[in-house]
């Protein structure tokens, strides 16, 4: 019982406290908000351990049991390790070997390691992001374009008034953003802007009202302990 | 063709990912796992250098800000999930984060997403566009009103709402497709310009 009541009480007290905080224009109130935001970042950072553990455990089991495709898990581990080494090694070297000359010339036997802090141009991690992660993400997302186009080909047949409107709006938006649209007819970009600013705004605003109402209701349910799904399971322990 | 080995590796990986368009294959899976590994490793490094080190370790051990031991302990309670007997302790962390997040966000949402948006919808209706926005918002909201059966006037109004929704969805769709196409153009440019130098 207490194992469920304590979390519910914490959620209630914190929820009410920070609703009140919003209406208190005192410096202390602002400091509380700034401080708690730092706390949330720290908690979030530590909580990421769970996700990392889940990933590592899954791939470790794949390799241990030699399930079909376990070699891919090995690739995952290798690249995971590579990114960690690229990120931490320069700092570790700077910390242990050259604490007084951090950022200066590296010692000879370690000269192959660029002593540049991670994320700064020239560091290995920066290189990995620029030449690995960023193009990789672009490729992945661009591939979705093929699937969207393929789905649209099947779904966008003008069989009803609604489907026709969807099709026309999509085509105008697509043409309006390309030079060919302007070449076909000068008015297409203007119609595109109108679609975005009038019917699109009306629809999105109404949908957003619904989302907001739902969020408010859900937040109140959490604060007052009506929503308990986050406690997990149905046991009463 | 490029003489840079890294361009060749990048080109090979790009083609490996696009090979999925034909069908799922080992080349794609290898590239996918490579991406996951590098991304997670990169995220951990970001997390350490942007959060754990400057916001926890340095203030705690170098500046003596011992209060930070509390968020560290609250965060570490999440690790109790690994021990079934004590996994209930992780609820404290979840409740703490949820309570604070909802408390902070509730007034902000009401102010920014509800009142300001309502204010933006209360237009003078002096031109056709303003009338269309007000009518559109009203009709779409009626479409999502499920407390009474959609019959008669409610049904007619909600049908007008559907038309606005369809135009909105079409606009979103067109915008998304164009964003993806621009990414595709970027990758094709890399392959044909940086790699095989076909485009000058």
The 10s digit of each residue's pLDDT in B122-179 is: 877 788 999 999 999 999 999 998 888 888 899 999 999 999 999 999 999 999 888 9
Which chain B residues are closer than 8 Å to A177 by Cβ? Answer: 174-175, 178
Structural domain includes residue A135: yes
Q: Does the pLDDT at position A121 exceed 90?
A: no
Contacts of B30 in chain A (CB under 8 A): 72, 75
How far is Cα A195 from Cα A190, in angstroms, rounded to an integer? 9
Average pLDDT over chain A, rounded to an integer: 86
Q: What is the pLDDT of residue B100?
A: 96
Distance CA(B100)–CA(B84), nearest Å, equals: 26
Does A79 contact B100 at a Cβ distance shorter than 8 Å? no
Q: What's the pLDDT tens digit per position in B67-82?
A: 999 999 999 999 998 8
Reported as type and span, the H/E element at residue A217 is helix A199-223
Eight-state DSSP code of residue A160: S
Judge whether B103 and A16 are in contact, CB under 8 Å: yes
A positions 26-65 inside 8 Å of B (CB):
33, 36, 38-50, 52-53, 55
High-pLDDT (> 70) share of chain B, %: 100
ipTM of this model?
A: 0.82
Structure tokens of A15?
Answer: 């929820």
pTM summary value:
0.81
> Cβ separation of B102 and A219 shorter than 8 Å?
yes
Six-digit token string for A92: 């570790």
Could you give the CA distance from residue A52 to residue A54 in angstroms, rounded to a whole number? 5
pLDDT score recorded for residue A74: 95
Question: According to the model, what pLDDT value does residue A115 have?
Answer: 61
- Say whether pLDDT at A112 is over 70: no
Q: pLDDT class for A233, splitting at 50, 70, 90? A: low
Q: pLDDT tens, A13-27? A: 999 999 999 999 899
* Nearest CB partner across the interface for B41, out of A43, A84, A165: A84
Does A104 have pLDDT greater than 60?
no
Q: At residue A118, does pLDDT exceed 60? A: yes
Q: How many CB atoms lie within 10 A of CB B63?
A: 9
Task: Say whether B100 and A144 touch across the interface (CB within 8 A).
Answer: no
- The mean-pLDDT minimum among A73-77, A157-161, A185-189 falls in A157-161
A49 confidence band (pLDDT: 50, 70, 90): confident
**Residue A24 CB coordination number (10 Å):** 12
B164 CA to chain A: closest CA distance, Å? 6
For residues B166 and A232, the model is more confident at B166
Owning domain of residue A117:
86-147
Residue A7's pLDDT band (cuts 50, 70, 90):
very high
Residue A102 C-alpha, separation from nearest chain B C-alpha, in angstroms: 16
pLDDT at A90 (0 to 100): 79
The sign one gets for the Cα dihedral A81, A84, A88, A89 is positive
Indicate yes or no: CB of A14 within 8 angstroms of CB of B96: yes
Say how many C-beta atoms besides its own lie within 10 A of residue A87's C-beta. 25
Range from A71-85, A125-139, B12-26, B153-167 carrying the lowest mean pLDDT: A125-139
> What are the structural domain ranges in chain B?
123-200
The 8-class DSSP code of residue A100 comes to T
Check pLDDT > 90 for residue B6. no
pLDDT at residue number A197: 92
- Residue B168 to residue A203, Cβ atoms within 8 A: yes
Structure letter (DSSP) for residue B42: H
* CA-to-CA dists, residue B81 to A49, A228, B18, B100, angstroms: 11, 18, 39, 21
A227 contacts A219 by C-beta, under 8 angstroms: no
Return all residues near A60 (Cβ < 8 A) that are at least 6 apart. Answer: A73
Q: What is the pLDDT of residues B87-124, one digit of tens each?
A: 889 999 999 999 999 999 999 999 998 999 888 888 77
CB distance B181–A231 less than 8 Å?
no
Name the nearest CA neighbour of A143 among B148, B82, B138, B16: B16
Q: What is the pLDDT of residue B123?
A: 79
Q: What is the pLDDT of residue A106?
A: 53
User: How many structural domains are present in chain A?
Assistant: 1
In a domain, A14, yes or no: no
Answer yes or no: is pLDDT of A31 > 90: yes
Cβ–Cβ < 8 Å for B162, A162: yes
Would the pLDDT of A108 be above 70?
no
Contact B129 A198 (CB under 8 A): yes
Question: What span, in angstroms and rounded, lies between the C-alpha atoms of A108 and B154?
Answer: 80
Span A190-195, average pLDDT: 94
Tokens of A115: 């002593």
Q: Chain B within 8 Å of A161 (Cβ-Cβ)?
A: yes
Comparing CA positions, the residue from B109, B70, B56, B51 lying closest to residue A18 is: B109
State both tokens at B40: 């997670």
From chain B, pick out residues whose CB is under 8 angstroms from the CB of A8: 95
pLDDT of A103 over the 70 cut: no
- Tell me how far CA of residue A195 lies from CA of A119, A178, A205, B92, in angstroms: 41, 16, 14, 47
């Amino acid at each position: 019982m207490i194992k469920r009541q304590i979390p519910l009480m914490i959620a209630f007290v914190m929820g009410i406290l920070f609703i009140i905080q919003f209406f208190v224009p005192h410096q202390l109130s602002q400091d509380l908000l700034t401080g708690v935001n730092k706390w949330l970042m720290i908690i979030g950072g530590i909580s990421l351990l769970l996700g990392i553990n889940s990933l590592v455990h899954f791939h470790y089991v794949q390799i241990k049991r030699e399930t079909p495709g376990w070699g891919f898990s090995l690739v995952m581990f290798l690249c995971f390790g590579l990114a960690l080494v690229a990120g931490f090694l320069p700092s570790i070297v700077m910390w242990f070997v050259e604490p007084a000359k951090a950022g200066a010339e590296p010692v000879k036997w370690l000269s192959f390691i660029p002593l540049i802090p991670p994320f700064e141009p020239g560091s290995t991690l920066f290189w990995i992001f620029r030449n690995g992660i960023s193009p990789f993400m672009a490729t992945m997302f661009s591939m979705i374009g093929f699937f969207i186009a393929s789905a649209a080909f099947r779904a966008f047949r003008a069989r009803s008034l609604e489907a026709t409107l969807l099709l026309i709006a999509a085509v105008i938006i697509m043409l309006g953003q390309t030079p060919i649209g302007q070449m076909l007819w000068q008015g297409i970009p203007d119609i595109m802007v109108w679609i975005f600013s009038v019917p699109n705004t009306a629809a999105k605003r109404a949908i957003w009202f619904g989302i907001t109402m739902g969020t408010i209701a859900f937040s109140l349910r959490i604060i007052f302990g009506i929503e308990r799904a986050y406690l997990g399971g149905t046991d009463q322990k | 063709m490029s003489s840079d080995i890294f361009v060749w590796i990048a080109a090979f990986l790009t083609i490996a990912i696009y090979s999925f368009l034909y069908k799922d294959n080992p080349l794609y899976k290898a590239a996918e796992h490579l991406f996951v590994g590098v991304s997670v490793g990169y995220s951990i490094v970001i997390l350490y250098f942007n959060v754990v080190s400057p916001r926890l370790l340095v203030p705690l051990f170098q500046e003596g800000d011992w209060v930070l031991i509390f968020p560290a302990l609250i965060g570490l309670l999440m690790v109790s999930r690994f021990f079934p007997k004590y996994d209930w302790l992780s609820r404290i962390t979840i409740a703490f984060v949820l309570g604070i997040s909802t408390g902070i966000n509730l007034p902000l949402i009401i102010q920014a997403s509800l009142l300001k948006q309502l204010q933006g919808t209360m237009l003078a209706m002096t031109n056709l566009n303003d009338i269309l926005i007000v009518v559109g918002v009203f009709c779409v909201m009626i479409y999502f009103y499920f407390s009474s059966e959609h019959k008669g006037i409610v049904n007619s109004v909600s049908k007008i709402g559907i038309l606005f929704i369809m135009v909105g969805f079409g606009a979103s769709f067109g915008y998304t497709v164009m964003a993806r196409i621009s990414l595709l153009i970027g990758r094709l440019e890399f392959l044909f310009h940086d790699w095989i130098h076909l485009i000058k």
